[in-house]
Chain A
């Protein structure tokens, strides 16, 4: 329970978020509300841990998501008590609370104005810059959000989270090559992030499927997607997402082999030859089969996958086996 409170709750399922926020009153009651600065009383109270404040922050996010505003206000109050309302991270949380409370667009505009006023005072207040980008994106002003985000990346180019967000905004606009470029910047900063490799592979596949670019281009992109998925598997054993993408790419390449082009070969991005592709396809099928089988059998140590991903993998396997039979 507490272990999931130590991690940001963005990716949790609604059921888990609800469960967490239902526990919020108990956790708030049982945790110390404030830590005294005086040496004498700190002798008698429990020691202050960094986890305590992480828990408050994540609990706040979960409560805001489920609409439990009372507990959210309590969490925020304690954070403000501890760190003061001029702490950059706390400022962003206060802004987040106002966004969540906002009933109409006019209120959101006011919040946006507040962010801008804060940035006037201190233009390098990164949490507030990020909140402003998120708010702009949320109210549909995408191009303003991109401008603000590129501004942030201009003065803080090592922020991989911001690069990743930029990639996501570009992707939502269908700008695949820009989205891939931004993710490549993330890889420069986090060269071992296996999920980002898989994400780039997925973006490349989608860009091939969307049919933008000519024949040459798509052959090159499929070849690159293959390499990205292979790298993600190299970095992470039994990576369902990587094998799924690999299977999709090899199926596409085997069913519809692109004509070899001189340019792709000179770049070193030409897809490998037929036998290698078939071997990769066989490996992906075998691994996907193993993962789905062991997950559904309830084997211990194989239950970390998500149900939906397993279902999708099963569908893919069934589809591919039915086409082979035909």
Chain B
């Protein structure tokens, strides 16, 4: 999906750059023509009418904007669940894997099951028991 959205965005930017360049070229040409026409005492009315952008450049700009937007929207990370049971289920089912962002790192604000603290209770930790259990585990290894 990422290569698709990236190429879409790049294509959109190319179109937009092309439209900008065309608009610049068009206005340069117009001013050049206006300058040469005024020396031939042409009417200023005609120059004003032809200085508006042609339809194809405007259309190209709009299409480019839509394509860029589409590419950027496709590139967003997966939305997080907003239903409680789905969110909780994801934590239980996938653990840390579920909270990885596109670059493969676990999100900083990922806390796992926030209610696990009610069962591990860090404020009441019995450090001597933990040490004993750990020493036994080391012996078994």
Binding site for B on A (CB under 8 A): 3, 6-8, 10-11, 14, 17-18, 51, 61, 64-67, 92, 96, 99-100, 102, 127, 130-131, 133-134, 137-138, 160-162, 164-165, 168, 186, 190, 192-196, 199, 234-240, 300-305
* Distance in angstroms between the alpha carbons of A300 and B123 in the assembled complex: 35
For B119, the chain A residues whose CB sits under 8 A away are 11, 164, 195, 199
For A162, the chain B residues whose CB sits under 8 A away are 123
Q: A99 and B128: CB pair below 8 A?
A: yes
* Distance in angstroms between the alpha carbons of A182 and B86 in the assembled complex: 28
For A240, the chain B residues whose CB sits under 8 A away are 92
Binding site for A on B (CB under 8 A): 84-86, 88-98, 106, 108, 110-113, 115-131, 133-135, 137-138
Q: B94 and A301: CB pair below 8 A?
A: yes
Cβ of A12 to closest chain B Cβ, rounded Å? 9
For A303, the chain B residues whose CB sits under 8 A away are 94-95, 97
Cβ of A127 to closest chain B Cβ, rounded Å? 7
Q: A304 and B91: CB pair below 8 A?
A: yes
Question: Looking at chain A's contact residues, is the secondary structure mostly helix, strand, loop, or mixed?
Answer: helix
Of chain B, the residue at the smallest CB distance from A95 is B127
Q: A7 and B112: CB pair below 8 A?
A: yes
* Distance in angstroms between the alpha carbons of A10 and B133 in the assembled complex: 12
**With contacts A195-B119, A236-B85, A236-B88 known, is A133 near B95, CB below 8 A?**
no
Of chain A, the residue at the smallest CB distance from B140 is A14
Say which residue of B85, B92, B108, B130 sits within 8 Å of A234 (CB atoms): B85
Q: B128 and A235: CB pair below 8 A?
A: no
* Distance in angstroms between the alpha carbons of A261 and B129 in the assembled complex: 45
Q: A304 and B134: CB pair below 8 A?
A: no
Q: B92 and A236: CB pair below 8 A?
A: yes
**With contacts A160-B118, A165-B121, A236-B92 known, is A301 near B131, CB below 8 A?**
no
* Distance in angstroms between the alpha carbons of A132 and B129 in the assembled complex: 15
For B97, the chain A residues whose CB sits under 8 A away are 300-301, 303-304
* Distance in angstroms between the alpha carbons of A194 and B112 in the assembled complex: 13
**With contacts A51-B108, A195-B118 known, is A10 near B125, CB below 8 A?**
yes
Interchain residue pairs with CB less than 8 A apart (27):
A3-B106, A3-B108, A6-B108, A8-B120, A10-B122, A11-B116, A14-B134, A14-B137, A51-B108, A64-B131, A65-B131, A99-B127, A100-B128, A127-B123, A133-B124, A160-B118, A161-B123, A161-B124, A164-B118, A195-B116, A235-B85, A237-B86, A237-B92, A302-B93, A302-B94, A304-B92, A305-B92
